[in-house]
Amino acid sequence: MRYATLMEAQMGEYPDSLVLTDGQMLEALATEVPEWIAKHKFKDWRSYEARHEMGWYAEIHYDEWRRAMMEETRAQWARAAFRCRIGDSQGFFYACGKRDDGTYQYVGFRYGLEDCEYASGFLDMTYTPQGENK
């Protein structure tokens, strides 16, 4: 199907989409926790077998590792967002795939009218609306 505007293209393909302002995207980049980190368990940690050797420091080290991985992932998302915004100032960020809890499963950047003209680069990024959009 042919669309006249980016908004029509996005809503035609993903009717549950929420368009994000640059400010909302910036806030999400700073606050959203990557799903793989949220679901990660201490026993799945690569250094779990050495926890007895580390002693009391093992859980602290695990928490530091999780924070570092979260910041690294957020930095990857931010670089992707920067590339998207610089690459096409007319495009927009969006969230889609609304879940029962009000969060959105996918985040992306729409830059063209065709169904394949969107950018991701936001692997495992969800979006939690603040305020009235929830």
CB neighbour class for 122 (10 Å; exposed up to 12, middle 13-18, buried from 19): buried
**Of 98 and 53, the one with more pLDDT:** 98
pTM of the model: 0.79
pLDDT digits (tens, 9 = 90+) for 57-106: 888 888 898 899 899 999 999 999 999 999 888 899 999 999 999 999 99
Phi then psi for residue 48, to 5 deg, are: -60, -40
